[in-house]
Structure 1
């Protein structure tokens, strides 16, 4: 995220870092989309999650799972534990902090071709014993009910431009929802530990080899949940990704929000995803 999170003063971030024994000045890192990030001394990489969009219980289970996976798999960049042994620390009622070791190397960007070595990492991940904390990755898209209702009655949107592009692509969204239901019936019953988002932006090339970061979406699911990034599967998870983005951006852009760089990016991705259906 490029904007600083509203409602998080720096002293609360520093207080959270102190619970890990980290006292250096956090430097904002405008990378990724969804969470907010800072680095400290080029030794630590922090991720601050907004609990209005990411439930705390799910986040804790994901980070505990990543920590356990890091003990089995060397390519997992797992969260470190606070002085109290927690992988997630509350900063206030809205934000939660996780801390990771900083990995020097070169990361790709979302949309870049996935490094060929990622297939080997995913094979090892899918074969590992699931930690007890591993959450189940839902098959259904949480926002589809609200999304379907918008197709019948779009109502008023805070972003007029977002409403216009949504209405213009309503038929494509209806078709996508119907196809998603059809494809869901063809998913295999196998469930393995999946990363959830092993795209190029979450892969770092380091001198020691490839690393996978950003484990908040880890969950038990068919292997296709990861493998579609490599061009495999029935197409269900590729379409699910698009529908999930549309539902999330629609909710964000309908609600009152400040004009900001992140809001501009949300509108851009919303528009591009609708056009891709």
Structure 2
């Protein structure tokens, strides 16, 4: 996020690092990503850290309220740590958090946030929306095949295809007939955007239900999945490719990951050879559709809450517009 979290001061985050035995010497806010807040730090032993503060209000897939979100986030970070040491040599492409002196991967911060700490790994990060060249896609598909073959840790949660933000999308569609006053400058434009494409969006929700029903009926086995292996979560460290941001890790079908990486039959064939399972086109389409619908719901959540004309609000509006128009344009 470009903006800093409301109600959380730098001093609060620095104080929380005492649980990890970290005393920052250098400290800098990192305005990257969307949804969480990040800092980089160097401590008295010249170790470099990447500090993340999660906004628990925007982790609804874990459960209701900050308590449920904190519990779910801790399960995800515990899973990442377990995966890092899963093989005899570990899944070395997993960038996992470090534990506190008490063994925690996540600690609550105030009433609605949580902090976790990662080693700051040198490398070239990607960006969401980048197009991966064929060699990089192949390397990522090989990593995913290895991940999907790994025995799931006990902390890994089953993540069904249904998305927790759906009620707020459906509520917004029901309320497009009246102005969305009092939220901020992008609220009523968002209402008009939904009103213009309401029929198409309801049709895509029906399609989602049909495909999700087909997946449940198939009885496809579940594997451990990353959830968001897009270029923005990929770090190029020399010849190595590392995966970041494991807060969406969980048990699902492989297609939850594959749709974000595979580009055509050659990529799917490579995964089938490495992973031992033929990807299902309908499940790929399901997760592609799920991503877009969830994006619409999440961006609406930002814009149907109090906001100003800030860079983050502008980004949410731009992304909402793109997602809605893309959904309406697809057959």
Partner of 2:278: none
| Kept in 2: contact 1:156–1:254 (CA 8 A) | no
Per the alignment, residue 258 of structure 2 pairs with 227
How many residues are treated as equivalent by the alignment? 277
Q: Say yes or no: does 1:87 pair with 2:115.
A: no
- The aligned counterpart of 1:45 is 50
Structure number with greater Rg is 2
Greater share of helix: 2
Q: How much does 1:207 deviate?
A: 2.3
8 A contact 2:221–2:253 mirrored in 1:
yes
Q: Deviations over 1:224-273 (max 9, x none)?
A: 00000123642000000000011111122112223311111011101110
TM-score normalized by structure 2? 0.81
Offset of 1:196 from its aligned partner?
0.1
Give per-residue Cα distances to partners, 1:148-202, cap 9 Å, x unaligned: 2332332442222111112111112111101101111222421000000000010
Contact 1:28 1:39 survives alignment (8 Å) = yes
* 1:31, distance to aligned residue in structure 2 (A): 0.8
Matched ranges for 1:1-277 at <5 A: 1-24=1-24, 25-41=26-42, 43-54=48-59, 55-72=69-86, 73-114=91-132, 115-116=136-137, 117-154=139-176, 155-157=178-180, 158=183, 159-187=187-215, 188=218, 189-207=220-238, 209-231=240-262, 233-234=281-282, 235-277=285-327
Moved more, 143-152 or 102-111: 143-152
2-structure distance, mates of 1:143, 1:80: 30
* d(CA) in 1 for partners of 2:213, 2:73: 28
Once the two structures are superposed, what CA deviation does each residue of 1:105-138 show, in whole Å capped at 9, x if it has no partner? 1111111124221000000000001000001113
- CA distance in structure 2 between the aligned counterparts of 1:113 and 1:16, rounded to whole angstroms: 37
Gaps of at least 5 residues in structure 2 are: 60-68, 263-267, 269-280
Question: Is the 8 Å Cα contact of residues 229 and 261 (structure 2) preserved in structure 1?
Answer: no
Q: What TM-score does the superposition give when structure 1 sets the normalisation length?
A: 0.96
- Determine if contact 2:70/2:108 at 8 Å carries over to the other structure: no
